[in-house]
Chain A
Amino acid sequence: MISCSEAVQQLWDYLENEVAEADRAAIEQHLAFCRRCCGEVEFAEELQSVLASAAEIELPRAVERRLTSALDGLDSERSQAQATDHGGTA
């Protein structure tokens, strides 16, 4: 049976499915009886949610305007190229 500190060292990798099958089984065996390490798992999951929820930053207006205008430019270039292709093959 692995110790709490061995389990805790691997918890995030466990949550990311980055541990070997034998290690996964050892961690799950430990979690089955260790309440404190179950709390560690729940906390690590919550910490991951905190990180994921901070992913989308508000796009500064000026940046949004420039990127949208670049997108429009690319879109019209593509439409023109398609029109030329179709004209050439017609």
Chain B
Amino acid sequence: MVGPHLPALYGLACQLVGDRAEDAVQEALVKAFRKYEQLEDPGAIGAWLRTILLNHVRDTVRRDERHLDEIPVEQVDDTRSLYRRIADEDPLPYSDTLHLDFLSCFSVPDVWAVLDDLPDHYRTPLVLVHMYGVPTREAAKALDVPLNTLLSQLHRGRKRFEQSLWDYAETNDLLRERDGAAP
């Protein structure tokens, strides 16, 4: 019952605590087994395990780390979106579906590489909410911050992620490869 959820749990733990992921998952599993009777809906076991892992990480592994509230607020340019930049710079002139083709240049390892380059305080909220579908209120609780702090870090994180996607594509010649393949 738990086995199929291990890859997602481990992936989430990798993002949250890096090389301590395996220990974190194992300790969360021990907690899950102890409170197994509290699982009301067996169909929701994935979300239930995820919550246990998030609480475990918040209460133990990340306790000594810098709190999101303590990170200085960074100004981001949110007047120019990635969508607009792609339209303006038209990096794939042969494409009829420019924006979708831009995104399709990124493999899964590319997406991870872009995320890995983001500062932790941007990456973590982004990964929790947009990659693993954790509701924002649950993510705020897991990271032990007010909802507004989480939302504002999420906002900045998304802008940084968009900028980094463009920079990564340029640095790694993703667009040239794709454009070169066009007729």
> Residues of A with Cβ closer than 8 Å to B?
5, 8-9, 11-13, 16, 18, 36, 39-40, 42-44, 46-48, 50-59, 63-64, 66-68, 70-71, 74-75, 77-78
Contacts and interface: CB of A to CB of B under 8 A. Distances in A.
B100 interface: yes
Contact of B82 (A36, A43, A64): A43
Given A67-B26, A70-B29, A71-B3, A13 B130 contact: no
A28 to B, nearest CB: 18
A2 to B, nearest CB: 14
A57 B29 contact: no
B29 A71 contact: yes
Nearest to A50: B103
Interface string B95-128: 0000110010010100110010000000000100
Bin chain B's interface residue count. Answer: 35 or more
21 contacts: A18-B151, A39-B87, A42-B99, A43-B81, A43-B82, A43-B99, A47-B82, A48-B130, A50-B106, A51-B130, A52-B133, A54-B112, A54-B115, A54-B131, A55-B11, A55-B131, A57-B14, A57-B112, A67-B6, A67-B22, A70-B30
Contacts of A68: 3, 6
A74 B158 CA distance: 39
The secondary-structure label for the interface of chain B is: helix
Contacts of B78: 8-9
B83 A57 contact: no
Contacts of A70: 26, 29-30
B129 A16 contact: yes
Contact of A57 (B11, B33, B130, B158): B11
B79 interface: yes
B111 A51 contact: yes
A17 B33 CA distance: 34
